[in-house]
Amino acid sequence: MKNRSLVSINDYSKEEYLKILELAAEFEENPNQDLLKGAVVASLFFEPSTRTRLSFETAISRLGGRVVGFTDSSSSSVTKGETLKDTIKMVSNYTDLIVMRHPLEGSAKYASEISSVPIINAGDGANQHPTQTLLDLYSIQKTQNSLEDINLFLVGDLKYGRTVHSLLMAMSKFRTTFNFVSPQELQMPTEYKIYLDNLGLKYFEHRDFENIIPHADIVYMTRVQKERFSDPIEYEKTKNAYILNAEMLEGTRDNMRILHPLPRVNEISIDVDEHEKAYYFTQARNGVFTRQAIISSVLGLK
């Protein structure tokens, strides 16, 4: 993994995921380690993001490194028409590592081909967001004490959800049982179902969110967005059907945990927040340790 960019969740093998998770646990025990002392990391956010950016910048800071960059392309020479190629070539001459989020798909892959330093993809359009998937895996492993034999429920927008597709790909390396809960219009695309069929992994599809989570180990919630519906009336009919509230948690397994990549709008009602099974804020915290692990691994420091 040393000096190898992390662009897609498919860049890592199962063993490599497990190594990152192991490192993340070490960082959770001991988050302040001067591994990046003397190093400078670029944080290039061509489109704004609060959570991911702050998570990365915290990870770098706790490792003793320094951050340079921009939080929005309007505060960079992109406004002068500078190409991504020139920006990356320039920044790779200044820093030891680049973390980037960009609205265009394939941007991180391209950057990794022209940069003289490793690239960590913090999100390229609707394509990949591998560090989110790794922190999701870490959260699942931490709460379930394993990644094998998990009954994983993916709820909400399964058609356009970048995080659910990526999580599916990662969890397909383990003996996972998948349950898809979504409106008809936002169901999991066929290509992913075929992929699971070819691996011999079981999946079940549900339109109804009522009464089906008692056997779940993990319930991964995502937002159903109005813009994704071709028919606004259809949206109005279904928008409240995929909301999780505290009452629905009765009868669920003790080990069950609720995950959400955030930001959360109304799909998890606030009466769930204080419930012991609500894990989404801790999940975000896990992002710092996971990103510390990824950075250390990519730079060959651990």
Partner 1 sequence: MNDKRHLEVSAIKNGTVIDHIPSESLFKVISILALDKVESQITFGNNLESKRMGSKAIIKIANVFFRNDDINRIALVAPEAKLNIIRDYAVVDKMIVEVPEQISGIARCVNPKCITNNENIVTRFTVVKKDSVSLKCHYCERITDQEHMDII
Verify whether residue 52 is a known catalytic residue.
yes
Verify whether residue 260 is a known catalytic residue.
no
Q: Say whether residue 8 binds partner 1 (CB under 8 A).
A: yes
Q: Say whether residue 105 binds partner 1 (CB under 8 A).
A: yes
Whole-number Å distance between alpha carbons of 117 and 123: 18
Check if the beta carbon of residue 33 is closer than 8 Å to that of residue 63.
yes
Tokens of 208: 């109804």
DSSP reduced 3-state for 181: strand
Whole-number Å distance between alpha carbons of 76 and 42: 13
Q: Say whether residue 125 binds partner 1 (CB under 8 A).
A: yes
Q: Say whether residue 31 binds partner 1 (CB under 8 A).
A: no
Catalytic residue among 129, 142, 264, 302: 129
Among 109, 206, 277, 285, binds partner 1 (CB under 8 A): 109
Element (H, E) at 281: helix 280-298
DSSP reduced 3-state for 53: helix
Verify whether residue 80 is a known catalytic residue.
yes
Whole-number Å distance between alpha carbons of 292 and 295: 5
Nearer to partner 1, 109 or 239 (CB): 109
**H helices within 172-247, ranges in order?**
190-199, 232-238
Q: Say whether residue 66 binds partner 1 (CB under 8 A).
A: no
Nearer to partner 1, 84 or 117 (CB): 84
Check if the beta carbon of residue 148 is closer than 8 Å to that of residue 114.
no
Catalytic residue among 53, 62, 101, 223: 101
Nearest distance, CB of residue 160 and partner 1, angstroms:
13
Catalytic residue among 2, 37, 51, 202: 51
Whole-number Å distance between alpha carbons of 117 and 5: 8
Q: Say whether residue 189 binds partner 1 (CB under 8 A).
A: no
Q: Which stretch binds partner 1 (CB under 8 A): 40-48, 69-77, 121-129, 202-210?
A: 121-129
Verify whether residue 101 is a known catalytic residue.
yes
Verify whether residue 2 is a known catalytic residue.
no
Q: Which stretch binds partner 1 (CB under 8 A): 119-127, 221-229, 252-260, 278-286?
A: 119-127
For residue 178, what are the contacts with CB-CB under 8 A and spacing of at least 6?
Answer: 152, 154, 168, 171, 196, 201, 202, 203, 204
Q: Residue with structure tokens 């992002």?
A: 287
Binding site for partner 1 (CB under 8 A): 8, 83-85, 102-107, 109-110, 124-128
Active site residues: 51-52, 80, 101, 129
